Structure 1
Amino acid sequence: MGDATTVVRTGRKFDQVLAGAREVFMTDGFEGASVDDIARAAGVSKATLYSYFPDKKLLFMEVARQECQRMADETVARIDPSAPVADVLTMAATEIISFLTSRFGVRIFRICAAESERFPELGRDFYESGPMRGRDRLAEYFRHAREEGALELDDVVLAAEQFSELCKTRLWPRAVFGLQSEFSREEIDCVAREAATTFLARYGTRSGV
């Protein structure tokens, strides 16, 4: 594939291409994924594949971008601004941890890390479409909670980054290092509750309890 940077996100076979690419990238990694295999998995011709994605990096990032955006949008949609902050944080932490420890989340992280030296833009683009997007959504909620007097903090972006790191406790290292591949709801819920509790111990107010 060439160096073009335009992605065509219309057309009836666009979703087919993404589904096929997702399957192949998850199995073979970024470098190991071939155009022929992606086209075959998607059930389209190589010409059709090229018409949507003239560059394999663009295809990989679109797969990652859509999955990360879906996770962020679903989490935001479930936020009830009138609910206690502890409940909102626990819910958000559960969603974040579930994604981080999922097969897709772990595989995408490994691919970006493995290819970051040869293709540094992969890491940058993944961060912007995934972690940074999630951080900004959390920061928006923290800003609202601060205005309501439920949180006491100055830097909402830093607080969002800290909360995300709390969600990586225990389970995420086990996932990315291959020590564990399946995680029970009880394990995820435990880390989520502790993330929310620890965060509120630092930034919570009496009115937010």
Structure 2
Amino acid sequence: MSAAHNKAIKEAEPQTRGDKRRAAFIAAARQVFLEQGYEAASMSEIVLRAGGSLSTLYSQFGDKQGLFISMLDARVRQITESMGVELSAHTPVQEGLRRIGEQFTSKLLEPESLEMYRLIVGLARKFPEIPREFQRRGPDKIRQALVDYLMDREEAGEIRLEDPYRTATLFLEMTRSGLVSRALLDEDVRPNAEEIRTSVNIVVDMFLHGIIRYQPDPDSTKTLKA
């Protein structure tokens, strides 16, 4: 494990008593929301599992929606950390994208992530502000983290970017679409590490090198012969 990776983990660990209490609330909230759903989830039940008091819970998160969004933030940080590690290490693009792709897909395929995504989609009609906030604080942040890494690799002369934002979007969608979509629809689909690695390798190779073999323009060939 690299020094940069160790540093990222250390910085993510709660340091103060307040940080530890906040982390306990978020962990308990994750359990309750997934078990009971957003509407039925009880703040009192969360406090019962985490310890502390309702007043402390409300002072830290404001209300149920604030707690739910904070829980999503904590999950997103776990994904963006791996991209930050590759950025800090200036990892060569092929190696970096493979590691980012594997970490990203593995996190999305965790049962908790799949259940969370299903829960958010279910809230879209009645509580549209929650999915919108999730998009802003989740996928948008993950995409920006990848943009930062890709721009670093462009500055190193490894790649050329016409549109960094769309390029990052394309990579993330290619990486997640096959395995994650199937797992969302079928609980029996649980890709293992080797399946994830194989899928990501194909995506990275296609992303960096394309799938159409270059062939000269026939007209230009005729001109050269003439």
Which TM-score applies when normalising by structure 1?
0.84
| Cross-structure match for 1:124 | 132
Match of 1:37 in 2: 45
Q: CA deviation at 1:186?
A: 0.7
Residue in 1 that maps onto 2:216: none
Distance in 1, Cα, partners of 2:158 & 2:124 = 40
Distance in 2 separating the partners of 1:158 and 1:10: 41
**Cα-Cα RMSD:** 2.1
Higher normalized contact order (CA 8 Å, seq sep 6+, divided by chain length): 1
Show structure 1 runs of 5+ residues with no match. 1-8, 203-209
Distance of aligned partners of 1:165 and 1:75 in 2 relative to their CA distance in 1, 3 Å threshold: same
Amino acid at match of 2:137: S
Contact 2:61 2:70 survives alignment (8 Å): no
Richer in helix (by share): 2
Which letter does structure 2 place at the counterpart of 1:35?
M
Which residue in the other structure is 1:90 paired with?
98
Structure 1 residue 181: deviation in Å?
5.0
Trace 1:122-201 onto structure 2 (pairs within 5 A): 122-201=130-209
Deviation at 1:88? 0.9
Q: 1: distance between equivalents of 2:60 and 2:128?
A: 23
* Contact 1:72/1:137, CA 8 A, preserved across alignment: yes
Cα distance in structure 2, aligned partners of 1:179 and 1:103? 9
1:44, distance to aligned residue in structure 2 (A)? 2.6
In the TM superposition, what is the alpha-carbon distance from 1:153 to its structure 2 partner? 2.3
* Cα offsets for 1:124-161 (capped at 9, x unmatched): 11112211111111111211222222112210000000
Q: Once structures 1 and 2 are overlaid, which stretch shifts more, 110-119 or 45-54?
A: 45-54
Give percent identity, aligned residues only. 28
Q: Given the alignment of the two structures, is residue 49 of structure 1 paired with residue 57 of structure 2, yes or no? A: yes
Query: Match of 2:75, as an amino acid?
Result: E
Secondary structure in 2 matching 1:158: helix
What amino acid sits opposite 1:201 in the alignment?
H
**Largest Rg, 1 or 2:** 2
Letter in 2 for 1:55: D
**Mapped partners of 1:130, 1:10: distance in 2:** 26
Retained in 2: the 8 A contact 1:24–1:41? no
2-side partners of 1:67 and 1:197: how far apart? 28
Instruction: Using structure 2 for the length normalisation, give the TM-score.
Output: 0.79
**SS class of match (1:30):** coil
Give the superposition deviation at 1:70: 2.5
Deviation at 1:104, TM superposition (A): 2.3
Partners of 1:56 and 1:10 in 2: CA distance:
22
Aligned equivalent of 2:218:
none
- Indicate whether 1:77 and 2:82 are aligned: no
Does the Cα contact within 8 Å between 2:154 and 2:160 map onto a contact in 1? Answer: yes
Distance in 2, matches of 1:181 and 1:60, equals 27
Aligned-pair distance for 1:95?
Answer: 0.8
The residue aligned with 1:20 is: 28
Counterpart residue number, 1:206:
none
Q: Distance in 2 between matches of 1:97 and 1:156?
A: 20
* Contact residue 83 and residue 146 of structure 2 kept, 8 A: no
